[in-house]
Structure 1
Amino acid sequence: MKKDLHPSSYRYVVFKDMSNGYAFLSKSTAHSKETIQWEDGNEYPVIKLEISSQSHPFFTGKNVLVDTAGRIDKFNKKYAKK
């Protein structure tokens, strides 16, 4: 393997699903200015997700419509004329 190929800045980060509030702790190199208090009492950077395995229809078996920033309304207005 090549030396210095992988980043050395791995740290613990909390990923939070904004559609249902589910959060999990994992290692990542992603940067965030926001932090969150985790269950162990420590503070970690938080990365906000629109969808995760806890809210994705493939994993949940439920057909849930996630409309972020009115994308569906915008699409319907754009193609309603045709």
Structure 2
Amino acid sequence: MKQDIHPPYGPVAFRDRSTGHLVVTRSTLVAREGAEQVEVDGVTYPVVDVDVTSDSHPFWTGTARTLDSEGRVEKFRRRYGAAR
């Protein structure tokens, strides 16, 4: 790898905007200027706010709606009739 062309890589706290849930991981977003700081277990991390995480996504929270209430085969048979 070439030296001095890659952004710094370090620990960052990602925060879900709707629930406030924090996930600490590593990212290249650590270099953002003026980023808000948060303390987790005595260590200070820069914060990156995200819109959707597994803590608020409808699929993972069980609040997802089912759009197709009948099966595809039944829908096909209803639309085009039984096999002739």
Give the count of matched residue pairs. Answer: 61
**Distance apart, 1:8 and its partner CA:** 5.3
Tell me whether 1:53 sits opposite 2:54 in the alignment: yes
TM-score of the pair, normalised by structure 2 = 0.62
- Map of 1:9-24 to 2, 5 A cutoff? 9-24=8-23
**Higher helix residue share:** 2
**Structure 1: gaps of 5 or more residues:** 64-82
TM-score of the pair, normalised by structure 1 = 0.63
**Structure 2: gaps of 5 or more residues:** 65-84
**Distance apart, 1:7 and its partner CA:** 3.1
List structure 1 segments (4+ residues) > 6 angstroms apart after TM superposition: none
- Map of 1:27-46 to 2, 5 A cutoff? 27-30=26-29, 31=32, 33-38=35-40, 40-46=41-47
Identity, % of aligned pairs?
Answer: 36
Structure-2 residue corresponding to 1:73 = none
- Map of 1:2-13 to 2, 5 A cutoff? 3-4=1-2, 7=6, 9-13=8-12
